[in-house]
Amino acid sequence: MDGQTLHTKQLNTAGRGDRVARTRESIVASALALAAAGQVAPIVRDIAQMAGVSARTVFQHFADTAELYVAVLGRVLAALVGEAPELASAGPVEQRVASLINQCADRYEQLRPMWTFVETLQRRSPEAADMISQIYSANTAQLSQAFGPELAALPAESRQRTLTALALAIAPESWVVLRQRLGLSVEQAREELGFVVQSVFATEAARR
């Protein structure tokens, strides 16, 4: 095989790879759009139609809908975790709490329309459940960093309890409850979360 033939073959292979990647991306993006629109289990026919492909093509890229849904979830969670900037660990605690709450509100408001999809999927898929745990791990690490001085000032036996309480307060479920179950506005939900976080610190400080 001469050099020109090899080069042409490599270009063709790369071209096919790009097409496969674009098709897969279109399928995932279409399923994500349907989930964001409130569909708990987007059906392949609708996904394929939106992506401009056949249902058969969908299953050429994904073994089943569960695998596709997990890919969608991975895309969502990667964006949520990746968009979280590092919080300052110095300055007035009220200011740091406000920054934390604003960040959570922005991230979870994006997730809220598809929360039922997320909850359903994590119950059915261990892989999805493991992916969801990444949010909680990221939240805990962020809290440890942002409120390190306050946590260090607590008795050793209170630090983990306080961190757990804070992580619970800013979990995605808390935002969904405030916004959907209690019907609060975004601003009201921010205020409630801020009150809860500051109350956790106040309670533990009073026990010292």
Per-residue pLDDT tens over the stretch 89-126:
778 888 889 989 998 898 899 889 888 898 889 888 99
Q: Which amino acid is at 104?
A: C
Q: CATH topology for 3-62? A: Arc Repressor Mutant, subunit A (1.10.10)
Can you give the pTM of this predicted structure? 0.77
Average pLDDT over residues 142-161: 88
| Domain ranges, ordered by start, for the chain | 3-62, 88-206
Longest distance between any two alpha carbons in the chain, whole Å:
80
What is the reported pLDDT for 14?
45
Whether residue 204 is predicted with pLDDT greater than 90 in this model: the reply is no
Between CA 139 and CA 171 the distance in angstroms is 8
Between CA 21 and CA 59 the distance in angstroms is 14
Place of tokens 């401009």: 52
Q: Count the neighbouring beta carbons within 10 Å of the beta carbon of residue 95.
A: 11
Return the closest-CA partner of residue 34 out of 156, 117, 151, 147: 117
Average pLDDT over residues 120-135: 88
Between CA 199 and CA 48 the distance in angstroms is 49
Contact 89, 185 (CB under 8 A): no
Average pLDDT over residues 73-100: 79
